[in-house]
Amino acid sequence: MNTNDKETSRPSPRPGFVLDVDRNTPPIVFHHGENFRLEKLPPGRSRVVYPSEPLEGLPDPEGAIKEALLNPLGDSDPLPSLLKPGMKLTIAFDDISLPLPPMRKPDIRQRIIEAVLDMAAEAGVDDVHLIAALALHRRMTEDELRHAVGDRVYDSFAPKGLLYNLDAEDPEGMVVLGETPHGEEVHFCRRAAESDLLIYVNINLVSMDGGHKSTATGLAGYTGLRHHHNVHTLRNSKSIMDRENSALHASNWRMGDVIKDAGVKIFQIETTVNNNTFGREGPLALLQKREWEWSARDRGQFIAMQRGLDLLPVKAKRRIFGGWQSPYELTSVQAGEVEAVHKKTIENVYAQQLVTVEGQTDILTMGLPYICPYNVNSIMNPILVMCLGLGYFFNLYKGKPLVREGGVLIMSHPTPWEFHPVHHPSYIDFFEQVLSETTDPIEIEKKYEKQFAEDEWYIHLYRNSYAYHGVHPLYMWYWGSHAMQHLGRIIIVGGDQKAVRRLGFQSASTLQDALEIASDVVGPQPTITHLKNPPLVMADVI
């Protein structure tokens, strides 16, 4: 927590903005997996979208949480009045995929859950379950759960079997609550459905998170997810980060209605964090600074870090970066009725992340960092590289994509042919067997989804080991399908050639080469936009 002194001594955060690159612009730092690249962008036709500086965190998070629980938004009573002795209470919370990177202790979830449990205890509630809302993500390990909810909560609930990971393949543990008017089955965690109150604890890192998606997706299994996790829906989500224009969210919202109509009472708690991803000080603080403001010392430090990382084996680098925990600060917390809460949440997300950008560009460049939602404490395999670039970063827009239709996307990432055998077993098979045959999302969906989704071995590993569900790599592929359809060419800079080719993309060893390759598609003097992200920035393209 920051002291008041520090806060007052800091100039107020500057908003994100678009830099036009001229001859005096220094090289820009690109994320490149567990390393970085300095790239000089062509002057006169390039621009860089910079994120806002971190907003100030709330000075008293505990107080703010309590405040939110007592003064809910929308049609909801304050939490204490919803808690009754003898009631069935379920607290579901976001899993290891949020936030990214994981935040320093104490995690927001711990703070909120402790506050909620205090109120529940006061009200004499003793039937409480805590469920990590995994959907088809891998189970969280003991260490990860301890980090999210804190040792105190873990030790009082886990040994009794009251704190656990959702098992969306447990036929006894799941229930279908009904169908939406579109014929979408609403698959739901039975314990949550049968509780008198379901409290959802969310971390709204990007605008895609939260709202009805928290429960309709987070507490569902394949039966429900398949209705919106498919190529058709995702190609019609423009973008998935813009809830009003996202078919994915429309489906989740329809499901939210069914959940409500089924009598499931939800008390939604949503939070937002600031852009303090790499710290205002420390080894990675540079990544939050704008390049022309670097001091000579910064420059030296950066070069030293880059050289040092070059020398390290990838496993060592992975350990170093994997250990990084972000000093995120809470910027807002709101609780109550789902839609009212989410509206406020999105405003707060946008306040930190949204930057107005004028017009589209021929080429979009981005540096992909070492982490995405599905490789926390794991390995970022080539499919996840694709998903981070095409599924997430490409979709960080409102209005229209940063790059014009038929344009080129250039991403920078080493893209090693490496997989985590425990976390991503079906990814390995998907990469080796499916992608070697086709990269067309429609064909993949038609030919392989059922097979991967219903595979007994994958289901066994999802339920009993720490594996993402068999169908998950296909979902990754669908996530990228809007971008794949929109783009004329996709190039990865500095990637493993074989792996990049398997993804169906082109590989280039330098940005210059990539721009050269791109000229086939967009002509010799294309306009270029670089999305400098993370810290997170979302483009409002007008």
Binding site for other proteins (CB under 8 A): 142-143, 146, 151, 154, 314-315, 318-319, 379, 381, 416-422, 425, 428-429, 432-433, 456-457, 460-461, 464-466
Q: Which is nearer to other proteins, 6 or 498 (CB)?
A: 498
- Nearest distance from C-beta of residue 31 to other proteins, angstroms: 19
Short-list 158, 135, 162, CA closest to 147: 158
- Nearest distance from C-beta of residue 465 to other proteins, angstroms: 4
Q: Which is nearer to other proteins, 212 or 318 (CB)?
A: 318
Question: What distance in Å separates the CA atoms of residue 16 and residue 33, rounded to the nearest whole number?
Answer: 23
- Nearest distance from C-beta of residue 425 to other proteins, angstroms: 7
Helices (H) and strands (E) in the chain, counts: 22, 20
Question: What distance in Å separates the CA atoms of residue 58 and residue 333, rounded to the nearest whole number?
Answer: 9
Q: Which is nearer to other proteins, 430 or 478 (CB)?
A: 430
Question: What distance in Å separates the CA atoms of residue 113 and residue 432, rounded to the nearest whole number?
Answer: 42
Q: Which is nearer to other proteins, 51 or 473 (CB)?
A: 473
Side-chain-side CA neighbours of 16 within 13 Å: the count stands at 29
Question: What distance in Å separates the CA atoms of residue 119 and residue 139, rounded to the nearest whole number?
Answer: 28
Q: Which residues contact 499 (CB under 8 A, 6 or more apart)?
A: 382, 415, 416, 417
Q: Which is nearer to other proteins, 253 or 427 (CB)?
A: 427
Cβ neighbourhood burial of 218 (10 Å; 0-12, 13-18, 19+): buried
Question: What distance in Å separates the CA atoms of residue 205 and residue 213, rounded to the nearest whole number?
Answer: 14
Cβ neighbourhood burial of 81 (10 Å; 0-12, 13-18, 19+): exposed
Strands (E), 158-281: 163-165, 174-179, 185-189, 197-201, 266-273
Q: Which is nearer to other proteins, 362 or 455 (CB)?
A: 455
- Nearest distance from C-beta of residue 417 to other proteins, angstroms: 6
Read off φ and ψ for residue 196, nearest 5 degrees: -75, -30
Q: Which is nearer to other proteins, 93 or 154 (CB)?
A: 154
Question: What distance in Å separates the CA atoms of residue 52 and residue 132, rounded to the nearest whole number?
Answer: 31
- Nearest distance from C-beta of residue 412 to other proteins, angstroms: 19
**10 alpha carbon, distance to own chain's centre:** 29
Tokens 């090289």 identify what position? Answer: 27
- Nearest distance from C-beta of residue 454 to other proteins, angstroms: 12
- Nearest distance from C-beta of residue 462 to other proteins, angstroms: 12
- Nearest distance from C-beta of residue 369 to other proteins, angstroms: 17
Q: Which is nearer to other proteins, 277 or 381 (CB)?
A: 381
Beta strands across the sheet bearing 163-165: 163-165, 127-132, 88-93, 197-201, 266-273, 330-336
- Nearest distance from C-beta of residue 195 to other proteins, angstroms: 28
The answer to whether 69 and 119 are in contact (CB under 8 A) is yes
Evaluated on CA atoms 275, 276, 280, 286, the torsion sign reads negative
- Nearest distance from C-beta of residue 314 to other proteins, angstroms: 7
Question: What distance in Å separates the CA atoms of residue 311 and residue 307, rounded to the nearest whole number?
Answer: 7
- Nearest distance from C-beta of residue 499 to other proteins, angstroms: 10
**242 alpha carbon, distance to own chain's centre:** 14
Side-chain-side CA neighbours of 160 within 13 Å: the count stands at 11
Q: Which is nearer to other proteins, 464 or 512 (CB)?
A: 464
Tell me the pairing of strands 538-541 and 17-20: unpaired
Query: What residue type is 45 in one-letter code?
Result: R
Q: Which is nearer to other proteins, 151 or 443 (CB)?
A: 151
Residue 28 bridge partners (DSSP): 39
Q: Which is nearer to other proteins, 378 or 481 (CB)?
A: 378
Q: Is omega for the bond preceding 369 within 30 degrees of 0, making it cis? A: no
- Nearest distance from C-beta of residue 459 to other proteins, angstroms: 8
Q: Which is nearer to other proteins, 58 or 130 (CB)?
A: 130
Residue 361 bridge partners (DSSP): 403
The first and second tokens of residue 243, run together, are 């809830």
Q: Which is nearer to other proteins, 138 or 191 (CB)?
A: 138
- Nearest distance from C-beta of residue 252 to other proteins, angstroms: 31
